[in-house]
Chain A
Amino acid sequence: MSDDDRGYTFDQARWADDDGYVSLLSEAAPGRAEPGDALPDDLTRDELALPDPAEPTVVRHYTRLSALNYGVDAGPYPLGSCTMKYNPAFLEDVAALPEAAVHPDRPDESVQGVLEIQHRLQRALARIGGMDAVTLQPPAGAAGEFTGIEVTKAYHRANGEGETRSEVLVPSSAHGTNFATAAMAGYEVVELPPGDDGRVDIDALAAAVGPETAALMLTNPNTVGLFERDVVEAAELVHDAGGLLYYDGANLNALLGRARPGDMGFDVMHYNVHKTFATPHGGGGPGAGPVGVVSDLAEFLPTPHVRETDDGYERYGPERSVGKVHGFTGNWLVLLKAYAYVARLGDEGLRDTSATAVLNANYLAEQIGLDVPYGPFHHEFAATAGDRDAADLARAMLDHGVHPPTTKWPEFVHEAMLTEPTEAESRRDLDALAAAFDAAAAADDETVANAPERTAARRIDQVGAAREPRLSWQALGDENAGTGD
């Protein structure tokens, strides 16, 4: 537990008193407000009980909470598969432009600015992915998957194959959302085991694919950073059987400007804007998950879609649209940031991004002492904690001032520590990350078992949290007094 691994320390503990952190409720005892006479009594509540803090108290409260939170602006955040890259500060100012804050139910001719940006972004994304048409409506990656699989379903139905094509193939290394999405769309999920080299086993795919196949969902590079070298063959297999190929765009950062899903044979894909295009993750969202398709599928895209006409831009419903996947047209304020990011980088910047992301991952994999099976890697790699518990090592890394990688996933890597440093980490930060890996790996069992010691909270009782769920102040009752007693 030394302070000199990094130039900063968490130092979060100073915000705690002996029992815990101060709750908003204890800062300002619940105010109780009763409705007046705006509505008849039988339509209104008797009273509303919520904290009534003065504004300075609100500021102290949330400032203190922010000090108990770690963001990528503070240091490395190499969560594999999450692409925690730097979020350029100016994107916030772009999204805050008052001109962007308009209502979606305005007529087209009065929102030409918004529609033009949307149309430009549709086109830029189409080129980046090698796709023919792009919808911006899905509000996150998983929502993009859902949209893409619903488009796939609509396509098969239009061909009279809606009933027969009942299966979606998903490699076991895929993200949980792929399985959940296919099930939500009503498909049976057929899991494909990984081959010995960590990639899709093309023989297993050939055996699984058939007249019941609606789609194969794939991410490339896959979830341990390996390029699916047989992707063209895989696409042929699936296409020959009448299925479609879905690309999970979570890992597109590795390929920006260097390879495109459309050129690999993918028919439909999502882009993960909060990963690849630098919009902030915001503690878990909002993001955006635009979907690109080849021209044969464009008529199935969600409504409305934006197109250019002689007089400007208009929204319209594609002919055989799947309808809507969001109440309006998605997370516009996020998409606007993505547009600004792409415009800032241009071709050269996009290519530099993928190159540096791949260089950084390879450099880091080389520096750390833990075993890193498979290869060659692109933007991420899965180290193995060996006979240690990956989550334990991750907690031990916290004491060295960095956020640890994603742990225990994907499952086919033993005790995986899935690490994605992104292009934003400097060599010095990568060296510090490697030092944190090595220090955690070298720590004795007791140190690891006690870690973390320098964080706001120490090891957390997860089992207790789930066994006796307490999900609100109300559930805490008397215990809520804020400082725990």
Chain B
Amino acid sequence: MPGDGSPYTAHPPTDRAAMLEAVGAERVEDLFDVPEAVRFDGDLGIEARSERAVRREVRSVLDQNADLVEFLGRGHHAHYVPSVVDHLADRSEFLTSYTQYQPEVTQGFLQALFEYQSMLVELTGLPVANCSLYDAATALGEAALLAARVREASGETVLVPGHVAPGRRAALERYVDGAGLAVATYPMAGGTVDVAALRDVVDDDTLLVYAETPTVRGAVEPALDAVGTAADDADALFCVGSDVLALALLEPPAAAGADVVVGEADALGLGTGFGTGHGLFAAREAFLRQIPGRLVGATEDETGRRAYTLTLQTREQHIRRERATSNVCTNQAWLALRTAIHVATLGAEGMVDLAEDQVRYARDAAARLDDLPGVTAPADDAHHFREFPVRVPGDAARVRDDLRDEGFAVHAVDDDLIQVCVTEETVAGVDDLTAALAEVVS
């Protein structure tokens, strides 16, 4: 009944009257202990609509989005989400529950999160994973703050690679401002870390070295352990950024000496959602009590049966307040559930196969584009996962815009480079993209 109160309040008028009587009020307004001066008697000017009307309205507004085939990545990736993920995660026992403060009746979610943590332990090679942060960028910010808490030396600089998503770097800068840390860049060569140049930049003031594999341009980092060694030699922590699917194929970051792994887990379980993220965070055992966010542990109930519970909560804001490891409270738990279901559905075989597909999609698409006159793809020397930079003749932003007019979305990375991302969702469109690019650059 739009216009007639909320459809989601439960009382028939008779109940409402009886309840008012029970609390000794004549009108519900009498219950508000709000001084006259700050009461709001005006209109908000928001018109109620029927459910049907709201659905139609949202759809018709969203319909204004152009119909583009997206070859876009750079930290937010389109992957096919099996139906079973939606159907299971949408069960309201999961969806309409909250943080497991009462573990006796939330064993199901706790176990799912415990299993999610276990999957990340296998994927990262690190022994402890939390059950989500907001996104990769904020997880990186938290990694830097963790480094500041555990540092033995006096370092105050977080080193990030020359290729990093501007949004990820900007969020990092905001996160570390309060701790008085600075963010600086080290150079890349041929699409991956210039290790010699990195060694020149790393010094006593370095708190944390951050490297990505795949990089924001899709390059698989071949010298991850050399980067780790450079960090270690300066007593700095080493943080690796990756994503949940790439980790199924690549050497586990722990093997290269990573102290912390951060990244996006939304690639599995969610897919494209205008940047809605799901940050993964794993770390060494030594940092267990410094980790941000929620941790689920296995224990027993009083009958001796396996049970799960949130644990080591003395790290957290609701206990430790201004001395907490982070202010995070609500996280992305339901997306962690979705990721876990997606990973379970793929299984070990399916994960590795899907990850290897991403390498082939990138390689094959690059080879196609590279055949075009004046086009170089990939525009660097690296192996790629999903995405790769493409050197185009003329202004890259203009090429991007012209491609958009043909119905394709790609990134413009700098003056000369566009970037193309191909997954199982878009691989069927590579022929058309190639034809369109041929037109645009001819």
Q: Is the CB of A423 within 8 A of B9?
A: yes
In the complex, how many residues of chain A place their beta carbon closer than 8 angstroms to a beta carbon of chain B? 202
Q: Which residue of A25, A150, A176, A469 is within 8 Å of B297 (Cβ)?
A: A469
Contacts of A130 in B (CB 8 A): 40
Contact B18 A427 (CB under 8 A): yes
| Residues 428-485 of A at the B interface (beta carbon under 8 Å) | 429, 452, 455-462, 464-466, 469-476, 483-484
Asked if A352 contacts B6 (CB within 8 A), the reply is: yes
Is A195 an interface residue, CB under 8 A from the partner? no
Closest to A450 in B: B302
The number of inter-chain residue pairs (CB within 8 angstroms) is 675
Q: Is A295 an interface residue (CB 8 A)?
A: no
Q: Would you call B356 and A38 a contact (CB within 8 A)? A: yes
B173 within 8 A of A: yes
Docked pose: A459 CA to B301 CA in angstroms: 5
Asked if residues A464 and B114 are in contact (CB atoms below 8 Å), the reply is no
- B111-152 CB contact bits vs A (8 Å, 1 = yes)? 111110111011100011101101111100000010000000
How distant is B168 from chain A, measured CB to nearest CB, in Å?
Answer: 5
CB < 8 Å neighbour of A140 from B131, B134, B401: B134
Known A-B contacts A62-B88, A325-B174, A470-B298; the reply to A286 vs B48 at CB < 8 A is no
Q: Is the beta-carbon distance between B51 and A71 smaller than 8 angstroms?
A: no
Q: Which residue of A lies closest to B337 (CB)?
A: A283
The answer to whether A38 touches B360, judged by C-beta atoms less than 8 angstroms apart, is: yes
B61: chain A residues within 8 A (beta carbon) = 113, 116-117
Partner pick for B94 among A58, A69, A110, CB 8 A cutoff: A69
Contact of A458 with B303 in the complex, beta carbons under 8 Å: yes
- Pairwise interchain contact A35-B352, C-beta atoms closer than 8 A: yes
Contact with A257, one of B44, B275, B277 (Cβ below 8 angstroms):
B44
In A334-361, the 8 Å CB interface with B consists of 334, 336, 339-340, 342-353, 355-356, 358-360
As a 0/1 sequence over residues 309 to 335 of chain B, the CB contacts with chain A under 8 angstroms (1 = contact) are 101111011111111101111111111
What separation, in Å, do the CA atoms of A344 and B89 have in the docked complex? 25
A387 to B64, CA, bound (A): 61
Contact A469 B312 (CB under 8 A): yes
Interface string of B265-307 (1 = CB under 8 A from A): 0000001111111100000000010000011111111111111
**B residues in contact with A33, CB < 8 Å:** 347-349, 351-353
The reply on B196 being an interface residue by CB < 8 A is: no
Q: Does B177 make an interface contact (CB < 8 A)?
A: yes
Contact residues in A for B45 (Cβ distance below 8 Å): 127, 347
Q: Which residue of A lies closest to B343 (CB)?
A: A50
Residues B10 and A102 in contact, CB atoms below 8 Å apart: no
Q: A59-B84, A139-B134, A403-B102 are in contact. Are A66 and B54 (CB under 8 A)?
A: no
Q: Are A70 and B9 in contact (CB under 8 A)?
A: no
B22→A367 contact, CB < 8 A = yes
What is the bound-complex CA distance between A475 and B334, given in angstroms? 24
State A425–B295 Cα separation when bound (angstroms). Answer: 31
The chain A residue with its CB closest to the CB of B41 is: A258
Q: In this assembly, does B442 line the interface, its C-beta being within 8 Å of a C-beta of chain A?
A: no
Chain A residues 353-394 with CB under 8 Å of chain B are 353, 355-356, 358-360, 362-363, 366-367, 376, 378, 394
Given contacts A51-B347, A348-B48, A457-B104, contact A150 B174 (CB under 8 A): yes
Distance between Cα atoms of A99 and B356 in the complex (Å): 29
Give Cα A330–Cα B275 distance, bound, in whole angstroms: 7
Tell me the B10-40 residues at the A interface (CB within 8 Å): 10-11, 15-16, 18-20, 22-23, 25, 28-29, 31-35, 37-40
8 A Cβ contacts from A248-284 to B: 255, 257-260, 263-264, 274, 278, 280-284
How far is it, in angstroms, between the C-alpha of A237 and the C-alpha of B322 when the chains are bound? 24
A-B contact pairs, 19 of them (CB 8 A): A45-B249, A48-B348, A65-B112, A104-B275, A112-B64, A184-B327, A187-B178, A258-B32, A285-B331, A285-B335, A324-B170, A326-B135, A344-B50, A348-B3, A349-B6, A350-B44, A362-B23, A362-B31, A483-B306
| Complex A-B, nearest 10 residue pairs according to Cβ-Cβ distance, in ascending order | A328-B275, A346-B48, A282-B334, A20-B306, A186-B178, A327-B137, A284-B333, A69-B108, A52-B347, A68-B108
